[in-house]
Chain A
Amino acid sequence: MTEPLLDVQGLTMRFGGLLAVDGVDLTAERNRITALIGPNGAGKTTIFNCLTGFYKPTAGRLLLRHPTRGPIELQTLKGYGVARTGVVRTFQNIRLFPSMTVLENLLVAQHQALMPRSVFSLAGLLNLKGWRAAEEAAVDTARDWLRRLDLLAVADEEAGNLSYGMQRRVEIARAMSTNPLLLCLDEPAAGLNPRETRALAELLAGIRAEHGIGILLIEHDMGLVMDISDHIFVVDHGARIAAGTPAEIRNDERVIKAYLGEPDADDAAHAGGDAH
Chain B
Amino acid sequence: MAAPIPSPTGPAMPFVHRLREAVIAGLVAMALAVPFLGLRTVNLDQGLVVQANLAYVPLAGAVVFLGRLILGLLAAPLAKAAAPLATWRPPAGAQRLRPWGGPLLVLAAAALPFLPFANRYVIDLGTTALIYILLATGLNITVGLAGLLDLGFAAFYAIGAYTCALTTTQLHWGFWPALAAGGLASSLFAVLLSLPILRLRGDYLAIVTLGFGEITRIVILNWQGLTGGPNGVSGIARPTLFSLTFDRRAPAGGHTFSEVTGIAYAPEHRLIFLYLIILALTALAAYTVARLRRLPIGRAWEALREDEIACRSLGINPTMVKVSAYATGALMGGLAGCFFAARQGFVSPESFGFMESATILAIVVLGGMGSQAGVIIAALFIVVLPELARGFADYRMLAFGLAMILIMIWKPGGLLSGRLPTIRLSNAKPKPVAEAA
Residues in chain A near residue B430, CB distance under 8 A: 143
Question: Which of chain B's residues 245-285 have a Cβ closer than 8 Å to chain A?
Answer: none
Residue positions of B touching A, CB distance < 8 A: 288, 291-292, 294-297, 299-300, 302-303, 306-307, 309-318, 419, 421-426, 428-431, 436-437
Interface residue SS majority, chain A: helix
Does B423 lie within 8 Å of A83, measured CB to CB?
no
Identify which of B297, B302, B307, B424 contacts A103 (C-beta below 8 A).
B424
In the bound complex, what is the Cα–Cα distance between A108 and B302 (angstroms)?
Answer: 9
Q: Which residue of B lies closest to A146 (CB)?
A: B425
20 extra interchain contacts, Cβ-Cβ under 8 A, other than A101-B421, A115-B296? A83-B313, A84-B315, A88-B314, A88-B315, A95-B309, A98-B306, A99-B419, A100-B299, A101-B424, A104-B302, A104-B423, A107-B299, A108-B311, A109-B314, A118-B297, A125-B291, A127-B291, A139-B425, A142-B425, A147-B436
Q: Which residue of B lies closest to A52 (CB)?
A: B313
CB pairs A–B below 8 angstroms (24 shown): A54-B312, A79-B312, A80-B311, A82-B315, A83-B314, A84-B315, A88-B313, A88-B315, A89-B313, A91-B310, A91-B313, A95-B310, A96-B307, A97-B307, A99-B419, A100-B302, A100-B421, A108-B311, A108-B316, A111-B315, A115-B297, A136-B431, A148-B436, A178-B315
Closest beta carbon of chain B to A33's beta carbon, Å? 19
Residues in chain A near residue B314, CB distance under 8 A: 83, 88, 108-109, 111-112, 174, 178
Does A80 lie within 8 Å of B316, measured CB to CB?
yes
Closest beta carbon of chain A to B428's beta carbon, Å? 5
Q: Is the CB of A200 closer than 8 A to any CB of chain B?
A: no
Does A104 lie within 8 Å of B421, measured CB to CB?
yes
Identify which of A78, A103, A112, A127 contacts B423 (C-beta below 8 A).
A103
Does B297 lie within 8 Å of A121, measured CB to CB?
yes
In the bound complex, what is the Cα–Cα distance between A174 and B294 (angstroms)?
Answer: 18
Task: Tell me how many residue pairs across A and B have CB atoms closer than 8 Å.
Answer: 132
Residues in chain B near residue A136, CB distance under 8 A: 428-429, 431
Closest beta carbon of chain A to B151's beta carbon, Å? 23
Q: Is the CB of A114 closer than 8 A to any CB of chain B?
A: yes
Closest beta carbon of chain A to B424's beta carbon, Å? 5
Does A124 lie within 8 Å of B296, measured CB to CB?
yes
Identify which of B299, B315, B431 contacts A83 (C-beta below 8 A).
B315
Residues in chain A near residue B288, CB distance under 8 A: 125
Question: Which of chain A's residues 54-104 have a Cβ closer than 8 Å to chain B?
Answer: 54, 78-84, 88-89, 91, 95-101, 103-104
Identify which of B291, B292, B311, B425 contacts A143 (C-beta below 8 A).
B425
Identify which of B299, B303, B315, B425 contacts A112 (C-beta below 8 A).
B315
Q: Which residue of A lies closest to B297 (CB)?
A: A121
In the bound complex, what is the Cα–Cα distance between A237 and B299 (angstroms)?
Answer: 41
Q: Is the CB of A238 closer than 8 A to any CB of chain B?
A: no
Closest beta carbon of chain A to B188's beta carbon, Å? 16
Does B300 lie within 8 Å of A108, measured CB to CB?
yes
Identify which of A98, A109, A156 contacts B425 (C-beta below 8 A).
A156
In the bound complex, what is the Cα–Cα distance between A79 and B431 (angstroms)?
Answer: 35
Identify which of A54, A82, A103, A142 contacts B309 (C-beta below 8 A).
A54
In the bound complex, what is the Cα–Cα distance between A174 and B310 (angstroms)?
Answer: 10
Identify which of B292, B296, B307, B426 contacts A156 (C-beta below 8 A).
B426
Residues in chain B near residue A52, CB distance under 8 A: 313
In the complex, which of the residues B310, B311, B318 has the most CB atoms of chain A within 10 Å of its own CB atom? B310
The 5 closest A-B pairs by CB, nearest first: A83-B315, A97-B306, A155-B425, A124-B295, A95-B310
Q: Is the CB of A152 closer than 8 A to any CB of chain B?
A: yes
Residues in chain A near residue B299, CB distance under 8 A: 100, 104, 107-108, 111
Q: Which residue of B lies closest to A108 (CB)?
A: B303
Closest beta carbon of chain B to A86's beta carbon, Å? 9
Q: Which residue of A lies closest to B430 (CB)?
A: A143
With contact pairs A108-B300, A148-B437 given, residues A97 and B310 touching in the complex (Cβ less than 8 Å): yes
In the bound complex, what is the Cα–Cα distance between A178 and B314 (angstroms)?
Answer: 7
In the bound complex, what is the Cα–Cα distance between A140 and B430 (angstroms)?
Answer: 7
Residues in chain B near residue A101, CB distance under 8 A: 421, 423-424
Q: Which residue of A lies closest to B308 (CB)?
A: A95
Does A121 lie within 8 Å of B292, measured CB to CB?
yes
Residues in chain B near residue A88, CB distance under 8 A: 313-315
In the bound complex, what is the Cα–Cα distance between A170 and B341 (angstroms)?
Answer: 50
In the bound complex, what is the Cα–Cα distance between A210 and B436 (angstroms)?
Answer: 12
Q: Is the CB of A53 closer than 8 A to any CB of chain B?
A: yes
Q: Is the CB of A252 closer than 8 A to any CB of chain B?
A: no
Residues in chain B near residue A156, CB distance under 8 A: 421, 424-426
Residues in chain B near residue A124, CB distance under 8 A: 291-292, 294-297
Identify which of A111, A140, A152 contacts B300 (C-beta below 8 A).
A111
In the complex, which of the residues B296, B299, B421, B431 has the most CB atoms of chain A within 10 Å of its own CB atom? B296
Does B303 lie within 8 Å of A97, measured CB to CB?
yes
